């Protein structure tokens, strides 16, 4: 039996029965632990619910699944763009799903993340082979092939002197990292309906831990451990796996067989995209630009102490002088940018003495230039532009958007 799937779009109120509204409220409340959202994600308008700052799918307590599409980007390709903007800092909320039957391929975020996970893990295995790590083992054996625990052996020698309590370090592929990667592949496999992807994930379950039975449990605390530096090729796959493993309700019960529903807070993806685009701009020969590290700049001071500071989402310098500051706003701007966004962008530019302030949106808004008065030249102009976040591709997406920024700078 297929579960009911409730489809809504960000910032568009939707009519649902009262019982469903309560289930949605409870589910969104549970996601706060994992996502720690900076903005409220659910609002009620009369008998309607409105989802904000959330895309993906969420398992509800009544067994149904809530699917939230972004407010910009109306086709299924948005999921492919979203997963290509995932980083190790992206917060991913994972809930269980009972999907297990094959069916038509879907364009949901869970499937897109599963595709991305398979791609990253396949690449790591092909380049490095399975992860091998020294693990410390304590065991008893009739062969003293390890460090003998003399005290323990003396206490048990009267009963059987040929039993040796030993400790040793073994280099093995059966470690917590490979077990975690295998279990995540297994759970994603139970989430997808695409036969080809299902087959790839099934192969990965065993390929990542060859010669050993596929694990059914791993200590969720491994999600907070850092991969050894010699296995850095696995870092992209581990970024996704660790986010899944942090959800104990999904992977913390031995023998539990479930799939995954995945939801994310989307506005950080726009900041990630902006950062990549600015790096591409700075690489342009002849422009002599550098990207500042993100940091605080004083806006108000009192008695030589900073009272208020600003943090630009992006800053470009040329020969030490700021040429532009950038603010990422995950919103639909309308005919003109929102007043609060304008004030923030201009104040930030003024704090770092930038002649140009740029607001970037996730949509496909054209370049729009405004003259600024009253700031004494820093800034002189405010520009707004959309970076087409939900049509992003890692192949040439950075360079395409960098050209937009180069046009603004000139």
pLDDT the model gives residue 91: 80
What is the layout of strands, in order, in the sheet containing 356-361? 289-291, 314-318, 321-328, 356-361, 381-386, 368-371
Taking Cα atoms as reference points, which of 10, 33, 30 lies closest to residue 91? Answer: 33
Secondary structure element (H or E) that encloses residue 308, with its range: strand 305-310
User: Within 13 Å, how many C-alpha atoms sit on residue 5's CB side?
Assistant: 14
| pTM score, whole prediction | 0.81
Low-confidence spans in the chain with pLDDT less than 70? 1-3, 73-76, 97-107, 135-137, 139, 145-146, 150, 153, 168-169, 248-259
Predicted confidence (pLDDT) per residue in 177-204, tens digit = 999 999 999 989 888 888 899 999 999 9
pLDDT the model gives residue 251: 52
| Number of CB atoms found within 10 A of residue 15's CB | 11
Predicted confidence (pLDDT) per residue in 280-312, tens digit = 999 999 999 999 999 999 999 998 899 999 999
Dihedral sign, Cα of residue 195, residue 196, residue 199, residue 204: negative
Q: What are the structural domains of the chain?
A: 5-130+175-264 (no CATH), 133-172 (no CATH), 267-409 (3.40.1350)
pLDDT the model gives residue 340: 95
pLDDT the model gives residue 161: 76
Q: Which two tokens stand for residue 268?
A: 């950080």
| Chain mean position to CA 15 | 30
Count the residues in the chain: 410
């Amino acid at each position: 039996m297929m579960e009911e799937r409730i489809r809504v779009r960000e910032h568009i109120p939707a009519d649902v029965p009262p019982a469903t509204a309560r289930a949605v409220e409870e589910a969104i409340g549970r996601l706060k632990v994992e996502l720690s959202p900076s903005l409220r994600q659910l609002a009620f308008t009369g008998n309607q619910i409105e989802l904000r700052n959330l895309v993906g799918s969420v398992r509800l307590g009544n067994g149904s699944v809530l699917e939230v599409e972004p407010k910009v980007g109306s086709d299924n390709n948005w999921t492919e763009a979203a997963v290509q903007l995932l980083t190790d800092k992206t917060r991913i909320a994972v809930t269980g799903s009972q999907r297990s039957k094959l069916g038509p391929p879907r364009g949901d975020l869970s499937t897109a993340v599963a595709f991305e996970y398979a791609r990253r893990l396949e690449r790591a295995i092909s380049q490095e082979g399975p992860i091998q790590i020294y693990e410390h083992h304590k065991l008893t054996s009739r062969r003293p092939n390890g460090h003998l625990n003399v005290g323990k052996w003396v206490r048990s020698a009267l009963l059987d002197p040929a039993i040796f309590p030993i400790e040793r370090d073994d280099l093995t592929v059966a470690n917590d990292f490979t077990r975690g990667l295998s279990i995540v592949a297994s759970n994603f496999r139970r989430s997808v309906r695409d036969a080809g992807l299902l087959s790839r994930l099934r192969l990965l379950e065993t390929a990542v831990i060859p010669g050993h039975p596929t694990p059914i449990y791993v200590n969720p605390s491994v999600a907070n451990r850092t991969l050894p530096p010699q296995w850095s090729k696995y870092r992209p796959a581990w970024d996704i796996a660790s986010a899944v493993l942090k959800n104990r309700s999904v992977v913390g019960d031995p023998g539990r067989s479930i799939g995954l529903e995945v939801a994310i807070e989307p506005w950080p993806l726009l900041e990630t995209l902006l950062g990549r685009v600015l790096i591409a701009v700075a690489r342009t020969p002849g422009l002599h630009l550098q990207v500042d590290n993100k940091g605080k700049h004083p806006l108000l001071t009192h008695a030589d102490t900073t009272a208020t500071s600003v943090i630009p989402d992006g800053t470009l310098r040329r020969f030490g002088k700021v040429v532009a500051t950038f603010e990422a706003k995950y919103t639909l701007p309308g005919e003109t940018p929102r007043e609060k966004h304008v004030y923030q962008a201009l104040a930030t530019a003024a704090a770092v003495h930038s002649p140009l302030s740029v607001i970037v949106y996730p949509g496909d808004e054209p370049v729009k230039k405004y003259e600024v008065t009253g700031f004494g030249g820093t800034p002189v102009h405010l520009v707004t532009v959309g970076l087409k976040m939900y049509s992003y591709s890692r192949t040439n997406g950075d360079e395409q958007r960098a050209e937009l920024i180069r046009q603004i700078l000139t």
